[in-house]
């Protein structure tokens, strides 16, 4: 086996890699970057910016499902891989909480702790439009099935049982809830603008657990100010959302982009990175390739 120098994100990750692959030299970020072959970044200051200067770099393996934050820095001679699948469970559970809380009037009870009649609604029978029907979207759909909700899936391209993104304007008005899970790209940036949001039915719930920049924030604020739709957000544009921003008062709830960050998901992501490193060392095909090397 060939020796590989690896830069990892935390001492705990280093221990896991050392135990699983003792033949590999493991170093802590940011040390060892100049000689690194397989890098596992997690957004540490200065690390992503250093990637284009690493001539030995062969693989960048993220611990996140989304890779938009690192894509501009991965040089053409390196392969970029994601941890898609490792965070499906907590994101899907967060989405379920977002869909269940409003009809149960739980958020009203938190905001106004008073003994007053708040008749609940039901998730049963509602139409939930999932925009971004990948592994997380499928996990949400599976969890919605026992609740009797109707799920309509939308993906970048149509396939059996799933609509294409070009059909979204014709589908969105029928939805009681719109769940956004699309990754950020040139094609999705700002896709939920004023025109598309205006097509949502009155009283519909907008749930974003994908990326904040796929939504035009000003357009969302305008719709929420009218009181026509409601929103629960895990992601915003900008991030962090500054104090005093109108979304804090207008949205039913906002969490700080942490839907996928359960300890169990972190463990699965690291385990996947270890598996990927093993494949690389053995010369086996990598999984979850977002962008292959261009040389």
Neighbours of 86 (CB within 10 A): 24
Give the DSSP H/E element, type plus range, for residue 16: helix 11-20
Asked if 279 is an active-site residue, the reply is no
DSSP state of 34: G
Cα four-point dihedral sign 36, 40, 46, 50:
positive
Catalytic residue among 257, 279, 287, 291: 257
The token pair at 65 is: 């499902």
The token pair at 14 is: 């280093």
Catalytic residue among 239, 258, 267, 284: 239
Asked if 133 is an active-site residue, the reply is no
Task: Specify the pairing of strand 230-233 against strand 205-208.
Answer: parallel
Catalytic residue among 211, 223, 237, 268: 211
Cα(224)–Cα(250) distance, rounded to whole angstroms?
6
- Looking from the CA of 243 toward its CB, the CA atoms found within 13 Å total 0
Cα(109)–Cα(89) distance, rounded to whole angstroms?
27
Asked if 189 is an active-site residue, the reply is no
What's the chain's Rg over C-alpha atoms? 21
Active-site residue set:
211, 239, 257
């Amino acid at each position: 086996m060939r020796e590989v120098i690896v830069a990892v994100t935390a001492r705990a990750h280093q221990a896991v890699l050392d135990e699983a692959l003792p033949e590999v030299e493991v170093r802590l970020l940011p040390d060892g970057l100049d000689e690194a072959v397989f890098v596992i970044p997690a957004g540490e200051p200065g690390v992503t910016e250093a990637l284009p200067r690493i001539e030995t770099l062969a693989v960048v393996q993220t611990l996140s499902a989304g890779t938009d934050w690192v894509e501009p820095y991965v040089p053409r001679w390196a392969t970029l891989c994601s941890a898609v699948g490792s965070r499906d469970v907590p994101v899907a559970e967060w989405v379920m909480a977002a869909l269940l809380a409003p009809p149960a009037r739980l958020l009203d009870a938190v905001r106004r702790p008073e003994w007053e009649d708040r008749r609940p609604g039901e998730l049963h029978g509602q139409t939930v439009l999932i925009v971004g029907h990948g592994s997380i979207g499928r996990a949400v759909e599976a969890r919605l099935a026992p609740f009797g909700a109707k799920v309509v899936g939308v993906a970048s391209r149509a396939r059996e049982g799933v609509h294409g993104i070009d059909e979204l304007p014709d589908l969105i008005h029928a939805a009681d809830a719109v769940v956004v899970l699309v990754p950020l790209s040139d094609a999705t940036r700002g896709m939920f603008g004023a025109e598309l949001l205006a097509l949502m039915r009155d009283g519909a719930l907008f749930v974003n657990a994908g990326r904040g920049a796929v939504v035009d924030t000003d357009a969302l604020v305008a719709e929420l100010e009218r009181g026509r739709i409601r929103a629960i957000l895990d992601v915003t544009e900008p991030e962090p959302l500054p104090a005093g921003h109108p979304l804090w008062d207008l949205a039913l709830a906002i969490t700080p982009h942490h839907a996928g960050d359960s300890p169990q998901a972190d463990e699965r992501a690291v385990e996947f990175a270890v598996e990927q490193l093993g494949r690389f060392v053995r010369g086996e095909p990598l999984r979850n390739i977002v962008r292959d090397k261009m040389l």
